[in-house]
Structure 1
Amino acid sequence: MTRKDRTEGIYSRKEVLDESERRQYYLIQLKDLLTYAYRYSEDVKKRFDRAQFQPEKFKSLSDLKHIPILKKKELIFLQSMGPRLGGLLTKDLGELRRIFLSPGPIFDPEDRSDDYWGWTEGFYAAGYRTGDVAQITLNYHLIPAGLMFEEPLKNLGCAVIPAGPGNTASQLDIMQKLRVTGYVGSPSYLMHLAQKAEEMGLNLRKDLFMEVAFVTGEKFSEKMRNQIEKKFDLIMRQGYGTADVGCIGYECYHKTGLHIANRCFVEICHPDTGIPLKDGEVGEIVVTAFNKTYPLIRLATGDLSYIDHSPCPCGRSTPRLGNIVGRVDTTARIMGMFVYPHQVEQVMSRFEEIKRWQIEVTNPEGIDEMTLYVEATNFRREDELLHTFRERIKLRPTLDVLAPGTLPPQIRPIEDKRQWD
């Protein structure tokens, strides 16, 4: 397949609607969603009633601001409030296809509808085409990451290798023997695969056959992208979404930002007030996916970005998110997983010897590394701590035990020292 075959074309007509058509499309989708959710979701009805918001009075896109913001962290509490995940769902659990569990802990329901997570447009824009063999290196255990990307690849006529994370030597062996053309996973793990392959004496262009990579889960620099693309001679593009709502945005070949998926409406809002900001202003990404089963209306993701309406050479007319420039709170996304300070504190509380702790995140050579510093005297439960941490947080840090008083008096629970230049 030629590079041109992978870089041209549009998957859906919705991607090229003119401004008037798009506004009308958003209005119809939102009106339908708000009406349905108010009728069938107990939580939505309570939220709307408290705000004195009536769906029948929704007339313009600006009316959405009258609905209170729903913070992602609130889901942990709300889901425990009764049946149907605290009334957030509009149907019973037995009517779903799957139920996942993400860090938080937060349950992530998956309905039985086609392309529930909405990534097909994104995979096509990244360059995936019929006949590709895609190796998915994301986790398949409890969290939705791995299975989330199988359906869009099926829709595009691709074969999937559900490799999951780790087992680097096996991953490379599979890539060689099955002539894998596509990679799905984090950018840092793809860089890790490249480094290990070179250490084994492989020629990434001649011994492997990859042509396209769809990466997600973590931020990366253009320098890192350029290195990976040159090493493999492939196209590497990213998608942006969450386990709560699925796809929010995706890159096209021209790398002009993240085209907002047609399955949702995105606002950029002030992190403190929830008031929508003007185009180009940096604020919190607030997303309303057109999902009647799990209507998380005006969900604040915690990520900071801005919206760009300028034309894109690819021909897609969808508005675009700029770079994800940071987080609103102390939550950090490390190796594709959200790490919450309260979760870490729950782990630390099991070890009475630990007086204080801090997580430091760095990314030497573009690969995330996490160090857990703990202050303790005569600490002898390192293996137990690391096991408990991994069981709870789904990641294994490097542990550094310090003498009491070593850490500064005022510290952040998670110190993010990653650089993206």
Structure 2
Amino acid sequence: MTRKDRTEGIFSRREVLDSTERQKYYQIQLKELLTYAYRYSEDVKKRFDRAQFSVEKFRDLIDLKHVPILKKKELIFLQSMGPRLGGLLTKDLGDLRRIFLSPGPIFDPEDRGDDYWGWTESFYATGFRSGDVVQNTFNYHLAPAGLMFEEPLRALGCAVIPAGPGNTATQLDIMRKLRVTGYIGTPSYLMHLAQKAEEKGMNLRKDLFLEVAFVTGERFSEKLRSTIEKKFDLIMRQGYGTADVGCIGYECFHKTGLHIAGRAYVEICHPDTGIPLKDGETGEIVVTVFNKTYPLIRLATGDLSYIDRSPCPCGRTSPRLGAIVGRVDTTARIKGMFVYPHQVEQVLSGFEEIKRWQIEVTNPGGVDEMTLIIESAQFKREEELQLLFREKIKIRPVVKVVPPGTLPPQIRAIEDKRSWD
């Protein structure tokens, strides 16, 4: 397949609506969603009533600002408040197709409709085409990513290898023997595969056959992208979304930002007040996906970005998110997984000899590395701690034991020292 075949074309009519059409489309979708959610979601009804928000008075997009913002961390508590995930769902659990579990813990329901998570548009824009053999290195266990990404690829006519994470030697062997053309995973793991392949004496361009890579779950530098693209001679583009709502945005070939998916309405809001900001101003990404089954209306993702409406050479007219420039809170996304301080506390609560702790995140060579620094006079259970950490938080940390009093009096629970230059 030629590079031109992968870089041209539009998947959906929604991607090229003019400004008037798009405004009308958003208004219709939001009106239908708000009306349906108020009627069938107990939680939405409570939120709207408390805020004295009347669905009947919704006339324009700006009216959405009167709906209280829903913080992602609130889902942990809300889902435990009764049937239908605390009233967040509009149908019974038994009517769903799957129910996943993400760190938090937060349940992620999946309904039975096609392309429920909305990634098909994104994969087409990245360059995946019918006939590709795609290695999906995301987890196929309780977390949704593996199956979330597999089904849209199958809809595009791709063959999918459900590789999951880890087992690097096997991953490389599969890539070589099956002449894999597509990669799905984190950018750091693709870089890790490249490094291990080169250590084995492989020529990435001659011995492997990758042509296109979709990456997500991590921030990465343009330097790392350029390095990977040159090593494999492939196209690497990123998508942006969450396990709660699915696809929010994606890059096209021209790398002008993240085109907002047609399935969602995105606002950039002040992190403290929730007030929508003007185009170009940096604030928290607040998303409303047109999902009547699980209507997380005005969900604050905790990520910081801005809106860009300038024309894109690809022809897509959707507004775009600029770079994800950071996080609002102390939560960190490491190796594609959210790590919450309260989760770490839960893991460490069984180790009385640990007095204080801090997580330090770095990315040497573009690969995320998490170090758990613990203060302890004598600590002999490093392997047990690593295994429990892996079981509960899905990441195995490097454990660094320091004497009591080493850490400063005032510290951040998670110190992010990654560089994106």
Fold in common (TM above 0.5): yes
1:150 is matched with 150
Q: Does 1:106 align with 2:72?
A: no
2:365 match: 365
Distance (whole Å) between structure 2 residues aligned to residue 164 and residue 72 of structure 1: 26
Q: 2:224 corresponds to which residue?
A: 224
Matches within 5 A, 1:171-190: 171-190=171-190
**C-alpha distance in 2 between matches for 1:167 and 1:411:** 36
| Corresponding residue number in structure 1 for 2:306 | 306
2:211 is aligned to: 211
- Please state whether the residue corresponding to 2:420 is helix, strand or coil: coil
**Aligned pairs, how many?**
421
* Residue aligning to 2:269: 269
- Structure 1 distance, partners of 2:248, 2:86, is 24
Q: CA deviation at 1:390?
A: 1.2
The Cα shift of 1:365 comes to: 0.5
TM-score (norm 1): 1.00
Indicate the SS of the match to 1:268: strand
What is the CA–CA distance in structure 1 between the aligned matches of 2:28 and 2:359, rounded to whole Å? 45
**Counterparts of 1:190 and 1:351, CA distance in 2:** 35
Q: CA deviation at 1:389?
A: 1.1
CA distance in 2, matches of 1:380, 1:179: 45
Aligned to 1:6: 6
Q: Deviations over 1:243-283 (max 9, x none)?
A: 00000000000000000000000000000000000000000
Match of 2:141 in 1: 141
Is 1:410 paired with 2:410?
yes
CA–CA distance in structure 1, aligned partners of residues 154 and 38 of structure 2? 34
- Give CA-to-partner distance per residue, 1:31-76, whole Å, 9 cap, x none: 0000000000000000000000111110000000000000000000
| Pairing of 1:342-381 with structure 2 (within 5 A) | 342-381=342-381
Partner of 1:86: 86
What is aligned with 1:385? 385
Cα shift at 1:382: 1.6
Residue equivalent to 2:59: 59
Deviations 1:100-139 (A, max 9, x none): 0000000000000000000000000000001000000011
2: CA distance, partners of 1:174 / 1:390:
26
Is 1:399 the counterpart of 2:402 in the alignment? no
Cα distance in 2 for residues equivalent to 1:406 and 1:16 = 57
Aligned-partner Cα distance in 1 for 2:236–2:389 = 32
What SS does the corresponding residue of 2:415 show, helix, strand or coil? strand
SS at match of 1:256: coil
Once residues 180 and 31 of structure 2 are traced to their aligned partners in structure 1, the CA distance between those partners, rounded to angstroms, is: 43
CA–CA separation in structure 2 for the residues paired with 1:46 and 1:273 = 21
Shift of 1:220: 0.4
Tell me how far apart the structure 1 counterparts of residues 317 and 4 of structure 2 sit (CA, whole Å): 21
- 1:268-287 pair list within 5 angstroms: 268-287=268-287
Q: Are residue 255 (structure 1) and residue 255 (structure 2) matched?
A: yes
Residue 419 of structure 2 aligns with an amino acid whose one-letter code is: Q
- Root-mean-square deviation over aligned CA pairs: 0.5
For 1:354 and 1:228, how far apart are their aligned partners in 2? 40
1:77-111 deviations in whole A, cap 9, x for unaligned? 00000000000000000000000000000000000
Show CA shifts across 1:291-335 (max 9, x none). Answer: 000000000000000000000000000000000000000000000
Q: Give secondary structure in 1 for the equivalent of 2:114.
A: coil
Other-structure match for 1:22: 22
- Structure 1 segments of 4 or more deviating over 6 A? none
> Aligned partners of 2:139 and 2:112: how far apart in 1?
21
Return the TM-score normalized by structure 2: 1.00
Structure 2: segments with no counterpart, 5+ residues: none
Report sequence identity in percent: 83
| 1:358-400 residue CA offsets vs partner (Å, 9 max, x unmatched) | 0000000000000000001211222221121111111000001
* 1:149 aligned counterpart, secondary structure: helix
